Structure 1
Amino acid sequence: MKLTDIHIEEIYKFTRKHYVEYYDVQTELVDHLANDIESICAENSNLTFEQARDTSFKKFGVFGFMTVVEQKQSYMTKKYFKIILKFAKEWFQLPKIILTILLFIGFYQLQNNSNAYTVYVTVFGFVFIAQVTLTIINARKLKKEFKITQKKWLFKNIINVQGLIYSAFLLFYVFDFFVPDGKDFLMMGDFRKVFSAFFITFIVIFGYITLIIIPKKAEELLEETYPEYKLI
């Protein structure tokens, strides 16, 4: 059996029915299912399209497409943080390393001031709140976009929503764990001061990358990930 466009559309509907919401993941599954259905029908020509489709689907096991979706989600999330790491490395190369050093020295010297802890918390709080706010704004934009295009892209969702919220709460837990409270902050030794200054410098850079750099390059990153995205 050679599958028609109608069959392909039916497979897309089938993936959506089984809780695959992202178009790119749907497309990968459709390609796999279509090839497998044709192979199954070649072996047994008496099977209908629906029977061959269900036979192919059973190969995914009791959890259906869930495992594939989770694997894809994990892969794209790792890809997002690798992109952040790539941009972060640029801050330790000329000419940005000069600004990085100045930020570090500034935060280190600030720790001699009684208001240092307040400044640190304010910097962290600004980045955290900005990430959460941008997450909410982006989620609304993607919801409106979906009503028009009827397509969701996993990596686009990670760049605009999931990645930002993961980043925000990652910073929250790390800050809470590594930075002492106000009283202990003033009693830190030199090693702890260096570490705290480095950490708050990293927060500034991390916030700049997630809030400014990646949003600016979002379309470029999506086109690199999905060659068909620019055609939509």
Structure 2
Amino acid sequence: MKLTKRHIDHLYHFTSKHYVEHFDVQTELVDHLANGIELQWQGNPNLSFENALQVEFKKFGVCGFADVVAEKTKAMNKRYYKLIWIFFKSYFSWPKVIVLILFTALVFSGLNIISAPYRIDAIVICYMILVLTGFVFLIKSMRRRKTMIANNKVVKKPIFLLEDIISKTGNVGFIGISLVQLPNLIFGHGSTLTSSSIILVISIITVLFIVLLYIVHIVLPGRAHEFLSNEYEEYRLLNV
């Protein structure tokens, strides 16, 4: 016996009901469950679909699908950070590195123009603006990727795990919030920043953080469709 489309739809609903929200993880689990059920039917054709499903589900243990989801999430997070690193490194190649040097010099000059007592405040404000801008792009990206047009109606779109990770990028926001506090933590609130070497280091860190924000909030979301289309046939079918 073979599973029907109704059976497959039920398996997707079953995985969703058991807290598997990402379509690619659901598909992997549905394939596993379907193969197991069909294998059971070869030995016992009279076994009901529901009973066969419960037998397969019990094989996942007391945690159900949680371990599978955790393993897939861990693997996709590694892939996500690898993508960040690949794009980040690309900005240190010729001729992009010239732009970074010039941008660093611009930030350094800007901080030197500002009166010494206000330099730390300027740095804090700069980081706050960067973090808030990043969150704006984050919200827009999440809204855009969670819906699609089908039959002239806006409907909820199946979300792939890597796509969701790219859209959220929450860790960068937390890094930004931490960086906002660094100048006051290191130098003390109201301190005067006069050392040229320290100003240079802060300028370099600021530029690197801007590059990181640009990658995770603009470059990767913009390339997400390309990554997922190359990886998943299901994604290509959903986005034709």
TM-score above 0.5? yes
Residue 96 of structure 1 corresponds to 96
* Stretch of structure 1 that moved more, 92-101 or 13-22: 13-22
| Structure 2 residue 217 is matched with structure 1 residue 214 | no
2-structure distance, mates of 1:158, 1:68: 17
**% identical equivalent positions:** 34
Structure 1 position 110, deviation (Å) = 4.6
Contact 1:110-1:116 at 8 Å conserved across structures:
no
Deviations 1:129-169 (A, max 9, x none): 01212222233334443952552222222222x22x22111
2-structure distance, mates of 1:185, 1:132: 30
Contact 2:111-2:199 at 8 Å conserved across structures:
yes
Residue 151 of structure 1 corresponds to 158
| Structure 2 residue 128 is matched with structure 1 residue 122 | no
Q: TM-score, normalised by structure 2?
A: 0.82
| Structure 2 residue 26 is matched with structure 1 residue 39 | no
Structure 1 position 106, deviation (Å) = 3.4
- Matches for 1:57-96 after TM superposition, within 5 Å: 57-96=57-96
* Stretch of structure 1 that moved more, 72-81 or 121-130: 72-81
2-structure distance, mates of 1:88, 1:110: 24
- Matches for 1:157-172 after TM superposition, within 5 Å: 157-160=164-167, 162-163=168-169, 165-172=170-177
Name structure 2 gaps, 5 residues minimum: none
Structure 1 position 12, deviation (Å) = 1.2
The one-letter amino acid of 2:53's match is R
2-structure distance, mates of 1:54, 1:199: 54
Picking from 220, 231, 234, the partner of 1:228 is 234
Deviations 1:162-215 (A, max 9, x none): 22x22111222244347734545616583x444323211111111222233223
The one-letter amino acid of 1:158's match is I
Residue 13 of structure 2 corresponds to 13
Q: TM-score, normalised by structure 1?
A: 0.84
Contact 1:12-1:26 at 8 Å conserved across structures:
yes
Matched residue pairs, number? 229
2-structure distance, mates of 1:82, 1:185: 39
Name structure 1 gaps, 5 residues minimum: none
Contact 1:33-1:53 at 8 Å conserved across structures:
yes
